[in-house]
Structure 1
Amino acid sequence: MSIESRLAELGITLPEAMAPVANYVPWVRSGNLIFVSGQISTADGKPLTGKLGDTMDVAAGTAAARSCGLALIAQLKSATGSLDKVARVVKLTAFVNSTPDFGDQPEVVNGCSDLMVEVFGDKGRHARAAVSAPSLPRGVAVEVDAIFEVE
C-alpha cells in the first residue's frame, strides 16, 4: 500500500508545507538523508502556543506534537515528491515548552512518534530525543525536527 493510500485510510490530510520564517531552508538533502528543519505546533494554520505544566496538559501537548509530525511529513513530501521514497524515519529531536518541574516530555513527544509509526509502519520506528525548553519560537508548545532516509 502506498503511503498516500495509508494517509487516506487513516483520514489524515497533510497541511501545506510551511515556508521558513527566518534565514534557513525547510529541508536539506545530503545523500540519502533528508534533514527537515524544526516544525512548530500549529492548529488551523496558526501557532499553537502554551507551556506544558502550566497552561497545557499532557493530552494537549501530545496533540501539539502530532501537529509537528504532520508538518514534518508535509515537508518530506515537498522534498521527495512522493512519500513512497521513504526508507526510514531515522531520528526525531523534540523540544517541549515546559515548566522546570514538568517531566512528561516523552509522553508529549509520543504524539509525533506514534504518528510516524501509524503512517510509515516499521519504517517509522526511530531514534529520538525529547527535551524541555524554557521557551520556544512564537511561544509554541512543541517543536520537532527530523532526519529521514530516502531511496
Structure 2
Amino acid sequence: MSIEAKLAELGVTLPEAPAPAANYVPYVVAGDMVYVSGQISADEGGLITGTLGDDMEVEAGQAAAKRCAIALLAQLKAACGGDLERLVRVVKLGAFVNSTADFTQQPQVVNGASDFLVAALGDAGRHARSAVSSPSLPLGVAVEIDAVFQIK
C-alpha cells in the first residue's frame, strides 16, 4: 500500500507544507537525507497552544504532537517533489514540549507523533528521538518537532 493510501486509510490528508515563519528554509536535502525544520503544533483551526502540566492534558499534547508529525510529512513530500514513496525511513525526531518545570511526561506526549508515524509508515516510521521540556515555545504552541528522513 502506498504511503498516501495508508494516510487516507488513517483519515489523514496532508496539508500544503507550511511556509517558514522567519529567515530559514523549511527543509534541506543533503544527499539521501532530508532535514526538516521544526514544525509547530497547528491544525485547521490554527495554532494548538498550551502548557503541559498546567492548562493542557497529556492526551491533548499527544494530538498536538501528531499534528507536528503530519506537518513534517507535508514538508517531506515537498522535499521529495510530491513523491512520498521516495521515503526510506524516519531517522530521528527532535521534540520540544511546552511544559511546567515539574511535568515529566514529555515522552508520552511525543508518542503522539511517534505512534502516528509508525501507523502511517510501518517499520520505516520507527526512529530515534529526543523529547525534552521547554518553558515556552514560539507563539505559545504546545509542541514543536523537527525531523531527519532518509530518502532514495
Identity %: 64
TM-score (norm 1): 0.98
State how far apart, in whole Å, the 2-side matches of 1:49 and 1:11 are.
Answer: 23
Count of equivalent residues? 151
CA distance in 2, matches of 1:102, 1:17: 31
CA–CA separation in structure 2 for the residues paired with 1:2 and 1:45:
28
Q: Deviation string for 1:85-133 (max 9, x for gaps)?
A: 1001000000000000000000000000011101110010000000000
Establish whether residue 141 from structure 1 lines up as the match of residue 126 from structure 2. Answer: no
Say yes or no: does 1:37 pair with 2:33: no
SS at match of 2:52: coil
Matched residues in 1 for 2:10 and 2:140: separation? 30
Displacement after TM superposition at 1:43 (Å): 2.5
Distance (Å, rounded) in 2 between the aligned partners of 1:122 and 1:116 = 9
Counterpart CA distance in 1 for 2:38 and 2:73 is 12
Q: Does 1:57 align with 2:57?
A: yes
Matches within 5 A, 1:66-145: 66-80=66-80, 81-145=82-146
Offset at 1:5?
1.1
Deviations 1:51-110 (CA, angstroms, capped at 9, x unpaired): 000010000000000000000000000110211110010000000000000000000000
Task: Give distance in 1, aligned partners of 2:44 and 2:54.
Answer: 22
d(CA) in 1 for partners of 2:6 and 2:57?
Answer: 30
Q: Which letter maps to 2:94? A: T
| Runs of 5+ unmatched residues, structure 1 | none
Which residue of the partner structure matches residue 4 of structure 2? 4
Give 3-state SS (helix, strand or coil) of 2:4's partner.
helix
User: Considering only aligned residues, what root-mean-square deviation do their CA atoms show, in Å?
Assistant: 0.7
Unaligned runs of 5+ in 2: none
C-alpha distance in 1 between matches for 2:98 and 2:5: 34
Provide TM-score, normalisation by structure 2.
0.97
Q: Secondary structure at the match of 2:146?
A: strand
| 2:18 match | 18
The one-letter code sitting in structure 1 at the alignment partner of 2:102 is: D
